[in-house]
């Protein structure tokens, strides 16, 4: 679910925002900063065991009042502050979050979240019972800032955003695995029990790293200098550790990269805007440096040569237009 005030009338923005946050389970109120125009953009996703929220908004206050608490439960909300400084007041404490810092809050308590400049955050709402089962004395870590220097936070943020935007979570098993990985990473950030920490390191952490590696490869597969060493360095891993992540899925870094480049080339061969581009140019743009290797790999993958695929696309287009 996505929501933005960008196209709304000024008089409707606050009320519509309140309605949206209520509907997605984050029951909150808003107060724009004095003299500021109120704008907010939200992406939300609800999965069994976690609600995900990505927010961008102008300066102002987010409020959770006694009225909200009376109609809600005691879930915990883990928030990672992404941009601009924010101050949170709850439990008689005032906590300042810098960029990249995080905090765990209780939905059973009132709070004021002051955003001092335009910025955003990623939030995960998780049942208290889930966190209590893997984090000892979880209520004791509520309203304590977690520094952005805690390495797992960046990984958690990237994984949460990727799950939020991933339309391929099509089966209950895949969704359940993604939720388990999110729970694991939050537990690591909060300081889990020894057993739960080992579970998270063995399950959630590798899954998040592999997803980040795949995302980075997909986004950069057209770079001919892309290598296992370069991707590993980007993720803060050794090349061997990155290889092991792919091996856990029965593949290799090279196979995954080749697959992405072939998919990119196939897509370009079937798109009208590339009909005048030579096959060699398309192979080059997809990340291949050797045309013979490209042709062999392409035919092995698709059972046809690149020129066959292009010819078939052109013939289909001619039939459709009556040419």
Q: pLDDT tens across 197-240, in order?
A: 455 555 567 777 787 788 788 888 999 999 999 998 888 889 99
Q: Which residues contact 226 (CB under 8 A, 6 or more apart)?
A: 217, 220, 257, 287
Q: Give the model confidence (pLDDT) of 21-54 as tens digits.
A: 777 767 888 888 888 788 889 899 999 899 999 9
The pTM for the full model equals 0.64
| Alpha helices in 24-151, H assignment, sequence order | 66-70, 128-134
Query: The domain 256-321: what is its CATH number?
Result: 1.10.10
Taking residues 95-102, what's their average pLDDT?
A: 93
Could you tell me where in the chain the CATH 1.10.10 domains are found?
Answer: 256-321
Which letter, b or e, does each residue of 14-32 get, where b requires 16 or more Cβ atoms within 10 Å of its Cβ? bebbeebbeebebbbbbeb
Could you tell me where in the chain the CATH 2.60.120.10 domains are found?
Answer: 1-149
Q: pLDDT band for position 133 (50/70/90)?
A: confident
Residues 116, 99 contacting (CB under 8 angstroms): no
98 vs 142: CA distance, rounded Å: 17
* Fold held by 1-149: Jelly Rolls (2.60.120)
Residues 64, 111 contacting (CB under 8 angstroms): yes
């Amino acid at each position: 679910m996505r929501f933005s005030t960008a196209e709304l009338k000024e008089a409707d923005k606050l009320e519509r925002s309140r309605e949206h946050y209520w509907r997605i389970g984050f029951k909150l109120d808003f107060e724009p900063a004095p003299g500021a125009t109120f704008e907010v953009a939200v992406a939300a996703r609800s999965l069994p065991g976690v609600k995900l929220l990505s927010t961008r908004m102008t300066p102002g206050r987010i409020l959770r009042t006694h009225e909200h608490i009376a109609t809600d439960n005691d879930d915990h909300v883990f928030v990672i502050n992404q941009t601009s400084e924010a101050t949170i007041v709850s439990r008689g404490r005032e906590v300042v979050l810098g960029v990249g810092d995080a905090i765990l809050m209780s939905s059973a308590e009132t709070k004021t979240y002051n955003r001092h400049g335009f910025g955003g955050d990623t939030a995960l709402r998780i049942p208290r019972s889930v966190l209590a089962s893997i984090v000892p004395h979880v209520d004791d870590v509520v309203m304590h800032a977690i520094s952005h220097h805690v390495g797992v936070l960046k990984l958690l943020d990237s994984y949460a955003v990727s799950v939020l935007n991933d339309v391929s979570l099509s089966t209950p098993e895949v969704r359940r695995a993604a939720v388990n990985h999110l729970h694991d990473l939050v537990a690591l950030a909060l300081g889990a029990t020894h057993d739960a920490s080992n579970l998270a390191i063995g399950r959630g952490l590798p899954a998040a790293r592999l997803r980040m590696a795949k995302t980075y490869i997909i986004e950069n597969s057209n770079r001919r200098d892309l290598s296992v060493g370069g991707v590993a360095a980007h993720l803060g891993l050794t090349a061997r550790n990155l290889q092991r992540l792919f091996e856990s899925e029965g593949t290799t870094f090279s196979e995954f990269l080749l697959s992405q480049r072939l998919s990119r080339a196939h897509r370009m061969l079937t798109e009208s805007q590339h009909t005048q581009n030579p096959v060699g140019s398309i192979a080059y743009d997809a990340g291949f440096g050797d045309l013979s290797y490209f042709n062999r790999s392409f035919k092995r993958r698709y059972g046809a040569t690149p020129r066959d695929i292009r010819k078939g696309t052109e013939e289909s287009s001619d039939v459709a237009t009556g040419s």
